[in-house]
Structure 1
């Protein structure tokens, strides 16, 4: 029986369903050499004590201390990696001004690989320290820097899905920051895909190339069509922004006389491996198309509060069969923590349900049945993200990867308010969701390998 690479003992919280968590109290988690959860053993199981007797004095046995808990690693479905360098800056100005005054000048600097390495090293390490074990990244238009980001994910042990951004329309992008032309954009994207697929062969936790039109306003029709063909040719993931704001949504309607979802689908960009960010202004036909094509939504609650002009009806979209996960949207979202986005997802949903205009009668003020519980928001950050990517991640469950964060609620400098030794474990889970900060995350494991310790 001495066959497991690692054996862990402790209490874990994981999503049982989209609305309910499962509490695994004092279980054993048996991890094989591939970093997968091969077996989960309950205290009442006959082999529980036998496994303890074999492993508990070994170096590969890990027992949680009192007040420590396992959570699945977070899955961040929308990160602008270069924008980490401007995170927390100028979120009080309009989106167009923010992009052209701050974001595009910053992203243009990533032609300098030394600068790119400094930022990308830091953002990957920071996300890991915040419990994010898988991240779906926008890079920049620069092929070499985008490959570098994938290499940094591979070396630091994070599961990275990375996209070289395409911005090939001279009329939609500043002269100093765009692809040289459509042909170059597509050639660079194909070379990027090939390079990352080669890197993936030697990366245990996986790295993946992602076809990445920034959004429709930045791309030509030929560019979008070419990217759709590349996604099909190499069976890659696809990511973009979709119906994020009043301006972006209206722009696409004016250009194509249809919504973003149908326009993107016309170019072959909605598929089972597609994740579209924001999606605040989808109508029911758009949502049905997402469900039909297997396209997932990256819900970015903090960023949406600044730039999306609305609150996305997550509960309604989810009820129609669309996979949804959470995204930090660094740096439209200021925080690298999905804990913060879990909290904001709950807050925003309550505001949508209750309404925000006090001059309206209560019955006219909000959208009924919109609220999310903290259990549901946690699902979005973990299992929902895994399902959106069709990967065995985001759950502490047999045949899933061992991607976990170890939370210490008894940290001397930031103890959580747990005063009853017999406090209900679900109440402790809720306190973790609302009160944990990065210093409470003592260790992070990806694919059975420790990648962060504090």
Structure 2
């Protein structure tokens, strides 16, 4: 009977579909030695009690306390790790000015590995404490500091997908912060890929290299083409920014004569392992290309409210089969919490549907059928993120990694308003999604290993 490394007993919530959340009441989650869920056993199954009897006196058994619930670990599809050092500042200026006045000078400092280590260790720990178990990271142009970020993810137990950023165009990037030239950018990228693949081979949860052109405005055509070839050669994930703002979207149209999506596709950068951040200005053809190629959207609702100049129609793109997950976009988004971003995703969608200009009649004020529910936002933060990365994460079911958050709703200092012993689990789930704060996240597990515990 004792064939599992760990057995957890408790109630959990997981996405069944983008619109439906399943409450798994009093389940046994049987975790294999490799950190993967081997079985999920319901109380009515014949061997439920036999499993409890076999494991409950051993060190691998855990019964959740009253008021505690399991959620899948969150998947963050867009984090600029170096920008954690400026998070919460300079959010009131246009994107172009923000990058050149604040962001690029900060990122240039990551040539200093001591500085990079301090910021990256704090960033990874902060995201884990917020329930985020898998993260798609932009690092900087610095090869060694980018490898260091991957190593920190491996050491702290976070599933990190890390990209050494490429910015090689001397006409578009400042002299103090860019790749020396295109050949160097491509050489450093390939060496980075090989180093991170070697590092990831010994990390239980997996650490992965990501081909990362910052965005089309920062890269030459030669670099973009070369990065597409490297991604194909080494079968890596790919990330960039796509049609984020009026300025960025317009620049690509003027330079390439086409939208970002088709320009990126021409360079071999749209694949089933690609995630493009923001994408606020996709049109129907762009979205259809994303669905056809398996390219995912990293939706960053808080950041978009500051810098994207529009609200992306998430509901419409979900309906045509585009893969979508959530991102915090540290530090264009000020919060490291995907709980906060899930809430903002719902708010922004309601504003898109209802409109914002009260001088217009209601029939002309918004975009119909644009709202999403908290169930859909939860899906984006979990299963949608896993599907976007083509990884078995974000669900609590057999064959998926045991990446979980243990949420305590009865915490004395941050108690959720749950007073009825018979309150429906659906209502409890919604209160968790809207009201949980970091202190409610008592433990975080990745690939069957505890990586965070709040005392």
Secondary structure at 1:324 match in 2: strand
Residue 103 (1) aligns with residue 103 (2): yes
Secondary structure at 1:353 match in 2: helix
- In the TM superposition, 1:333-412 aligns within 5 A as 333-412=333-412
| CA shift for structure 1 position 72 | 0.1
Residues of 1 paired with 2:253 and 2:449: CA distance? Answer: 47
Per the alignment, residue 83 of structure 2 pairs with 83
| CA shift for structure 1 position 3 | 1.2
Secondary structure at 1:17 match in 2: coil
Residue 21 (1) aligns with residue 29 (2): no
Residues of 2 paired with 1:276 and 1:254: CA distance? Answer: 20
Deviations 1:34-60 (A, max 9, x none): 100000100111100001111111111
Deviations 1:133-166 (A, max 9, x none): 0000000000000000000000000000000000
Residues of 1 paired with 2:412 and 2:215: CA distance? Answer: 46
Residues of 1 paired with 2:256 and 2:56: CA distance? Answer: 64
| CA shift for structure 1 position 215 | 0.2
Structure 2 gap segments, 5+ residues each: none
| CA shift for structure 1 position 97 | 1.4
Residue 115 (1) aligns with residue 124 (2): no
Residue 205 (1) aligns with residue 229 (2): no
| CA shift for structure 1 position 94 | 1.2
Per the alignment, residue 4 of structure 2 pairs with 4
- In the TM superposition, 1:37-48 aligns within 5 A as 37-48=37-48
Residues of 1 paired with 2:277 and 2:414: CA distance? Answer: 34
Residue 450 (1) aligns with residue 454 (2): no
Per the alignment, residue 93 of structure 1 pairs with 93
Per the alignment, residue 318 of structure 1 pairs with 318
Secondary structure at 2:57 match in 1: coil
| CA shift for structure 1 position 351 | 0.2
| CA shift for structure 1 position 131 | 0.2
Deviations 1:1-22 (A, max 9, x none): 1110000000000001100000
| CA shift for structure 1 position 279 | 0.3
- In the TM superposition, 1:184-263 aligns within 5 A as 184-263=184-263
| CA shift for structure 1 position 383 | 0.2
Residues of 2 paired with 1:332 and 1:303: CA distance? Answer: 5
Per the alignment, residue 165 of structure 1 pairs with 165
Structure 1 gap segments, 5+ residues each: none
**TM-score, with normalisation over the residues of structure 1?**
1.00
| CA shift for structure 1 position 248 | 0.4
Residues of 2 paired with 1:82 and 1:393: CA distance? Answer: 25
Per the alignment, residue 265 of structure 1 pairs with 265
Deviations 1:337-371 (A, max 9, x none): 00000000000000000001111110000000000
Residue 302 (1) aligns with residue 305 (2): no
| CA shift for structure 1 position 200 | 1.0
Secondary structure at 2:244 match in 1: coil
Structure 1 stretches (4+) deviating beyond 2 angstroms? none
Per the alignment, residue 293 of structure 1 pairs with 293
Residues of 2 paired with 1:248 and 1:137: CA distance? Answer: 21
Per the alignment, residue 62 of structure 1 pairs with 62
Per the alignment, residue 139 of structure 2 pairs with 139
Residues of 1 paired with 2:375 and 2:292: CA distance? Answer: 27
| CA shift for structure 1 position 96 | 1.4
Secondary structure at 1:71 match in 2: strand
Deviations 1:361-407 (A, max 9, x none): 10000000000000000000000000001111000001111000000
Deviations 1:240-262 (A, max 9, x none): 00000000000000001100000
Secondary structure at 1:405 match in 2: strand
Per the alignment, residue 421 of structure 2 pairs with 421
Residues of 2 paired with 1:83 and 1:283: CA distance? Answer: 30
Per the alignment, residue 152 of structure 1 pairs with 152
| CA shift for structure 1 position 100 | 1.1
| CA shift for structure 1 position 208 | 0.4
Deviations 1:68-88 (A, max 9, x none): 000000000000000000000
Residues of 1 paired with 2:224 and 2:366: CA distance? Answer: 37
| CA shift for structure 1 position 198 | 0.5
Residue 177 (1) aligns with residue 173 (2): no
